[in-house]
């Protein structure tokens, strides 16, 4: 099941905009609107990004990884880190 979890207008979407200054278009471009970003990527392994995601109210989605059947984890943290201009 592919799920869009940070749809426009949700508290999570507003928090991503407020905390990270991301528009809905940027959230979509980065793939942060897809459940697999939280369940089957390396975002949870990056402490700074995981903390930002948690602060936006999406941290609990990392715990849903048992329900995702994507073939292989996707490397996303470096792209999100680069886009947000976070130090390496």
In a domain, 28, yes or no: yes
Domain that holds residue 77: 11-83
In a domain, 48, yes or no: yes
In a domain, 24, yes or no: yes
In a domain, 44, yes or no: yes
pLDDT at 69: 56
pLDDT at 1: 41
pLDDT in tens, the chain (88 residues): 445 665 677 787 788 888 888 888 888 889 888 888 888 889 989 999 999 999 988 888 888 876 555 566 678 889 899 998 987 6
In a domain, 59, yes or no: yes
In a domain, 35, yes or no: yes
pLDDT at 22: 84
What is the rounded distance in angstroms from the CA atom of residue 44 to the CA atom of residue 56?
A: 14
For the chain, how many structural domains are there in total?
A: 1
In a domain, 88, yes or no: no
Residues whose CB falls within 8 Å of the CB of residue 46, separated by 6 or more in sequence, listed in order? 77, 80, 81
């Amino acid at each position: 099941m592919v799920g869009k979890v940070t749809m426009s207008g949700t508290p999570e979407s507003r928090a991503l905009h407020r905390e990270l200054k991301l528009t809905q278009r940027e959230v979509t471009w980065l793939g942060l609107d897809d459940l697999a970003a939280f369940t089957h990527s390396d975002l949870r392994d990056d402490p700074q990004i995981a903390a930002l995601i948690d602060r936006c109210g999406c941290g609990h989605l990392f715990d849903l990884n048992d329900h995702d059947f994507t073939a292989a984890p996707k490397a996303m943290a470096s792209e999100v880190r680069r886009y947000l201009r976070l130090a390496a």
